Amino acid sequence: MMWKSFLATWRAMLTDKGALTLLFIGGIIYSFFYPLPYSTEIVQRVPVAVVDQDRSAMSRQLTRFAMAHPSLQVIAVTPDLPVAQDLLWRDEVMGVLIIPDGLQTDVLAGRAAHAQVAGNGLYLMLNKVALNGLAEVVGTVSAGIELKRLGAGTPSGIQANEQRSPIAFDAVPLFNVKEGYGAYVVPGVATLIVQQTLLIGMTMLFGTWYQRKSFPVAGTRTAGGYMGMLLAFACVAFLNCCYFFGFVFWFQDYPRGGNFGGMLLLLVLFSLAEAAFGMLLGMLFRTRERGTQLMIATSMPVLFLAGLTWPVSSMPVVLQWLRWLLPSTAGIQGFVALNQMGASLYEIRHEVAGLLALLVACVALGWWRWRAETPAPIVQQR
Amino acid sequence: MNEADKEPVSALAREWRRLRGDFWDFGMLSWIPVVLCGMLWLVFSAGIARDLPIVVIDNDNSTLSRQLTRWLDASPGIKVAAKVASSDEALHRLRERTAFGYLLIPNDFEQKLLGGRQATVQWLYNAQFSSHAGALLRDVRTVSTTLSAGIEMTARAKKGMSGVQAAAQFEPIRTTLNSLYNENISYEAFLTLALMPAMLQIFIVVAVVTSIGRELRDGTAPQWLASASGSWLRAIGAKLLFPLIAYCVLALLYLLFFSLARGWAVAGSLPALLLSMLLLVLAYCGLATLLIAATLSLRLALSGAAFITAPAFAFAGQAFPLMAMPAPARAWAEALPLTHYLQLQTKYWLAGAPWRYGVQEMLILAGIAIGCGAVGVFLLARRANAPAAWGRT
């Protein structure tokens, strides 16, 4: 019975054009489409403006340094603040360096001088690059002045530098060492794509079967029938994950941590949980398109609930718990830890336990629904 | 009463009856978007991440190294979850995701600093969790710089400089860093506000595609057209009216919620922002009409909707900037109404721009609405009333 159901489900998947596209082609299309905007990975040459109200040798030096900075592109130098504001509103610059009148006089007189650096806080990545770049420019010029002063009283330049900044700060990125944006987002989204295409495909098939009143497995709903169908859908999740984790991550050259054994185990568990979850969901809707409509709309909340882009600890407590009801939560966290960070099975024990619990719950509920739904003709015969 | 008498209202009445009779379709216009958008807001409602866990490897265990650790823990964005002995232990915490970075304090930390030499602290962080790491880096660097400046000031005071003099000396040009329009880098302002229209566009396209697609799939296009007394404009207008009203109301709701209840007041031109919202809804109504008219299949049009709307936020340039995208991605982004709308929203709502700064984007949105809508209506009028266009699944 189980194998009959397994084969019948596969036949149903392969003969329905809509399901076929979603289950097997959708992932491939998304795998090229989704990483596309991020393919340059980092931001360079962020446009900035310099508001030079000092017009001194020092302000010109600051401007020159800004022009030479690799992550900045000075597109305007002006004494007028409104000009800079205008450029900001036109999105033509993302940052501004403001050199106030009297800066050089203050510095030469030994008074503390202030330069202002402003970035557009509504574009987070550009803001960061603009602020860091401009702060570096001011810092370099400032350090030059200070070193000259210190140099007068101390024997060597190195010593002067050490006195200037006693604690050196050395930041080292781990795992995603190139700090690519795609390498950060796409591995998590890959798992989401596998889940959403599978769920859309499954709810589409279930809805169609209900509408046509024809199920691939005719007759009484047996445990074997349920298991066969579950395994068939789990295969699809398994294959799609293999494609993403094996081919796409390599092709896009994302960090690969390589706990292969652990990955395989989580993969089996994840695929089964997805299939059981999908079957439960599929038995909820009665029309072909219903699942699709809902699944398109839920993909963004589902992604953010996974805790990749926003710390779980900063979510309301009720969401911290509810998010485990989605297979993607444990899947995204677990696969990123295994595939990108090389975590051990122990280090993803919460994800394993979560998926296991979800699998048991979905199979129990799904099996109960499955039996309750033994097709009408048979009931009438009795 | 014969058909002719009730014609002007009946296309609308027919659509209303269909909506009321369909729990889920009605939900897609009302409570489902509210629930999903509410959930998204809840996720980011804290605005700023607090107390992210890190660990410290303190090889020095001196007064200064302990002070550094205490200051880290006191920083609002950081929680020192533990002191660990080795990098292996720290990495284990990172892989477990119970810490997102660790600070390594060398064993000669205090000795070097007291001797007037430079000591290096290393901050190693999980760059795979980029936004966690970004917030932490800022705070960890601030704490270490503050301590460093304190030590330098003390050293100068010892040499007999006055405090004011020392302060001016040690950093001749100070820098004030400012994140305009979003002082605290709140994710609520930067992300949630932009996510709401990203959700809205999904719902609009799905609703319009569904309502027109049903008639084609069920082969009820002739009745639909008859209910509008044979006018395609009126027939399609009846289909668009309810989604249009529902999603304009939703747009207003999110505007009211964030500007009044959450305190993100509209800093720029309010009329221009309202007009932009209307244009967003209209542009996606047009796009959806074209989508179903071009495919004549509910399933294909929904697949198209999934392809266009679900990843649209990734292309819209809010999280990852447009200027860094390769040309094909940039072109796709420019073709999406969402990209232009979000630029308008950013300008008018938070950056405080006057209305004239968004004229170009508004014209683009209006162009998409009219262009796609006109082609959509034309195609439907030409093809939808033929049996060949019906029953596709």
Mutant choice from A97, A106, A287, A314 vs B, greatest count of B C-beta within 10 A: A314
Query: What is the helix (H) or strand (E) element at residue B52, kind and residue range?
Result: strand B52-58
Residue B160: how many CA atoms within 13 Å on its side-chain side? 0
- CB of B21 within 8 Å of a chain A CB? The answer is no
Name which of A96-100, A287-291, B77-81 the model is least confident about: A287-291
DSSP letter at B356 equals: G
B42-61 per-residue burial string, b: 16 or more CB within 10 A, e: under 16: bbbbbbebebbbbbbbbebe
**What pLDDT is recorded for position B165?**
65
pLDDT digits (tens, 9 = 90+) for A145-168: 887 776 665 555 556 566 667 888
- A293, B118: Cβ pair inside 8 Å? no
**What pLDDT is recorded for position A185?**
92
Q: What is the pTM of this model?
A: 0.91
**What pLDDT is recorded for position B120?**
92
**Do A137 and A65 contact (CB within 8 A), yes or no?**
yes
**Do A216 and A16 contact (CB within 8 A), yes or no?**
no
Is pLDDT above 90 for A366? yes
**What pLDDT is recorded for position B354?**
94
pLDDT digits (tens, 9 = 90+) for A241-262: 999 998 998 898 888 877 888 9
Is pLDDT above 70 for A120? yes
Kindly report the average pLDDT of chain A as a whole number.
89
Burial of B142 (0-12, 13-18, 19+ CB in 10 A): middle
In whole angstroms, how far apart are CA B205 and each of A89, B294, B301, B390? 30, 14, 9, 20
State the Cα–Cα distance between residues B256 and B243, nearest whole angstrom.
20
- B119, A168: Cβ pair inside 8 Å? yes
**What pLDDT is recorded for position B5?**
47
- CB of B22 within 8 Å of a chain A CB? The answer is no
How many of the other CB atoms lie within 10 Å of CB of A246?
12
ipTM value for the complex: 0.91
- CB of B132 within 8 Å of a chain A CB? The answer is yes
The amino acid occupying position A223 is A
pLDDT digits (tens, 9 = 90+) for A4-48: 999 999 999 999 998 999 999 999 999 999 999 998 878 888 999
**What pLDDT is recorded for position B27?**
93
Closest CA of chain A from B230, distance in Å: 28
DSSP letter at B262 equals: S
Split at pLDDT 50, 70, 90, the class of A231 is very high
Nearest by CB to A301, from B36, B132, B183: name it.
Answer: B36
**What pLDDT is recorded for position A81?**
92
Mutant choice from B31, B32, B43, B355 vs A, greatest count of A C-beta within 10 A: B43
Closest CA of chain B from A94, distance in Å: 10
Contacts of B51 in chain A (CB under 8 A): 313
State the Cα–Cα distance between residues B216 and B344, nearest whole angstrom.
36
> In sequence order, what are the beta bridge partners of A120?
B180
- B173, A184: Cβ pair inside 8 Å? no
Is pLDDT above 50 for A382? no
- B171, A146: Cβ pair inside 8 Å? yes
**What pLDDT is recorded for position A164?**
65
pLDDT digits (tens, 9 = 90+) for A183-192: 999 999 999 9
Closest CA of chain B from A381, distance in Å: 31
Residue A284: how many CA atoms within 13 Å on its side-chain side? 18
- A107, B173: Cβ pair inside 8 Å? yes
**Do B163 and B157 contact (CB within 8 A), yes or no?**
yes
Burial of A32 (0-12, 13-18, 19+ CB in 10 A): exposed
- B347, A89: Cβ pair inside 8 Å? yes
- A296, B119: Cβ pair inside 8 Å? no
- A117, B176: Cβ pair inside 8 Å? yes
- B182, A121: Cβ pair inside 8 Å? yes
**Do B140 and B93 contact (CB within 8 A), yes or no?**
no
**What pLDDT is recorded for position A350?**
95
Is pLDDT above 70 for A381? no
- Name residues of chain B where pLDDT drops below 50: 1-8
Through-space distance between the first and last CA atoms of chain A, rounded to whole angstroms:
22
State the Cα–Cα distance between residues B58 and B64, nearest whole angstrom.
11
Nearest by CB to B180, from A107, A120, A139: name it.
Answer: A120
Contacts of A296 in chain B (CB under 8 A): 202, 206, 302, 305-306, 309-310
- B43, A88: Cβ pair inside 8 Å? no
Could you say which residues from 285 to 304 on chain B have a Cβ atom under 8 Å away from some Cβ of chain A? 298-299, 302-303
- The three-point CA angle B13-B17-B19 to 5° equals 115
- A289, B210: Cβ pair inside 8 Å? yes
Strand pairing category for A113-120 and A95-99? antiparallel
Could you say which residues from 51 to 70 on chain B have a Cβ atom under 8 Å away from some Cβ of chain A? 51-53
Nearest by CB to A112, from B44, B168, B190: name it.
Answer: B168
Count of A-B CB contacts under 8 Å? 333
- Closest CA in chain A for residue B77: A314
Contacts of B332 in chain A (CB under 8 A): 36
Mutant choice from B112, B121, B128, B330 vs A, greatest count of A C-beta within 10 A: B128
